[in-house]
Structure 1
């Protein structure tokens, strides 16, 4: 009987570890995809909480903005 409880306890521990690792992989995939959003480097990005983008305000800073056809890179400041 003790052997059955030990096996069940190890199965519970291993399934919890497997679930944790799989959720971490899903989270890392989401982070990698969100790092492809080019809004912060676009000249139309306003960095305002009320209006993020002057051209596409509904899609700014979201996954829909990854392939934005209005993206224009910012020009560097000449100091």
Structure 2
């Protein structure tokens, strides 16, 4: 039994270096591909989130308890991108 295992290992030995070489490069390529797709998806999500107009709306309170006085359930979400009640903040001070 031990001789059979030894014979099998000697037969596989010439193939181990190419298999390990290809396997190592395959792992490197898969890691780089994973990093690329994660970066691409993060950029896509960030671009989408920058289209949310809530911080520039006069109804936005910037309070975590009530983010928006008109539509509190969709404030700061993707649903708020095309909000029909959006009104830009005015810079004038009221006394």
Instruction: Give the shorter-chain TM-score range.
Output: over 0.9
> What whole-Å deviation, never above 9, does each CA across 1:18-49 have from its counterpart, x for those lacking one?
11101110011000000000000000001111
- Structure (1/2) with the larger helix percentage: 2
Structure-2-length-normalised TM-score: 0.79
Greater relative contact order (Cα 8 A, min sep 6): structure 1 or 2? 1
Runs in 1 of length 4+ with deviation above 6 angstroms?
A: none
Gaps of 5+ in 1: none
What is the root-mean-square deviation in Å for CA atoms of aligned residues? 0.9
TM-score normalised by length of structure 1: 0.94
- How many Å separate the matches in 1 of 2:62 and 2:20? 57
Partner of 2:40: 25
Question: Which structure has the larger Rg over C-alpha atoms?
Answer: 2
Unaligned runs of 5+ in 2: 1-15
